[in-house]
Amino acid sequence: MQRVVLITGASQGMGRATALYLAKNNFLVYAGTRTPHKLSDIKHPNIKPIKLDITNSENIKQVTNSIKKIDILINNAGYGLVSTVENMDEKQMYDQFNINVFGVLRVCKAVIPMMRKQQSGIIINISSFLGKIGLPLLTFYNSSKYAVEGITDSLRYELRDFNIRVHSILPGFFDTNFARDNLVTNPKTFDKNSPYSSIVSNLAPTIIKQINHGNDAIEVAKIIEQIIENQNFPSHATIGDKARKFIPMKKELSDEDFERRVREYYNL
């Protein structure tokens, strides 16, 4: 029987690559996005573009009710806020968590009852290696991804008795138009007279360059397929050059030594 996938944030980047890859491998993919017209160029019978706003519980309920069966949920939608805490705009702060954290919880809440009744299911949360390490200017994005890691770890306990697997993927920097389309910057932080101008001038260009020259999104799609097919796949998957560099280093070093290494690497 054909397995059914619901993926959020499917119009671009990792979401789009994963939707297309799974469709080509005979999964039926409901490609959820606020902008389904961006998928109009994909003519594949296994991809069903669907309008999905993960900030709207009623819309999520309507979408999930319209799908008779969901075997795999991929929580992929997200973006990054670049701002210091001092310059924080409260709406920007809320919006960051509303998408990256509350959106994950809303969609899980809607899908879990279906999977529980089926006594089967897989939930894959797209996190980030920045869900394990901190970087300046990305405090809000970092903390939202730390929260996704907490959600993943806790849900594994909650859903184990119902034969529902829960995993997270922690990508490094990937070339997915993220720096061009999915970074929101606080103008006060980037003002040339900001007290944080030295950090901004050192770090921001480096991060953007690393994202734009990062790994190919198809790598994420392939590891998602591996998670689906392997019942014994580890709870967390690290993928991409930066993730493979920093996460093992974080485990090996003291917090102080790790921070020193990060400062040296990014000239902070």
Catalytically annotated residues: 127, 141, 145
Q: For 45-67, give one letter per residue: b (16+ CB within 10 A) or e.
A: ebbbbbebbbeeeebbeebbeeb
Let me know if 234 is exposed, middle or buried by CB neighbors in 10 A (0-12, 13-18, 19+). Answer: exposed
111: exposed, middle or buried (Cβ count in 10 Å: 0-12, 13-18, 19+): buried
Contact present, 217 and 13 (Cβ < 8 Å) = yes
* Residues 41, 45, 46, 51, CA torsion sign: positive
